[in-house]
Amino acid sequence: MSTFDALRIAGSGLYSHRRWMDAVSDNIANINTVKAPGEDAFQERMIVAEAVDYGSGQGGVRVAGTAFGSAEGRMVYEPTHPLADADGYVKYPDIDLGDQMTQLLMAQRGYQASIATIERATNAYQSALQLGKG
């Protein structure tokens, strides 16, 4: 594996972790999105990542797609809400804030690890260039 492979693999990690953080932040932003009981609730968005050429040292990671949570949501009694049905219920997404914060921390740590890898690979490459100036 060359220094450039390390940069490419860490770059793919940066991209996938950024997409993960984007999905989690979207989920958190919509955690209080209210819908009428007859409508679908906001669906939690989850990023599906997969290894590229696993075990070869040449791969990395790629975002394979997006998975969505349940549109069923949870019914909450709020009779004064303008979207409430005749029984006084509205629909909220079934998203747990604690789980989303945990997901955000994991994505952030992965992003930071990828940045650290890029910095170390860049430093190693710059040191190798300095040897040639000798």
How far is the C-alpha of 37 from the C-alpha of 89, rounded, in Å?
7
Render pLDDT for 64-108 as a digit per residue (tens, 0 to 9).
999 999 999 999 999 999 999 999 999 999 999 999 999 999 999
Domain that holds residue 125: 3-133
Could you tell me the pTM of the whole model? 0.85
Q: What is the pLDDT of residues 31-56, one digit of tens each?
A: 999 999 999 999 999 999 998 887 67
The single-letter code of the amino acid at 36 is: A
pLDDT for residue 2: 61
Residue type at 129 in one-letter notation: L
Number of domains in the chain: 1
**H or E element at residue 64:** strand 60-68
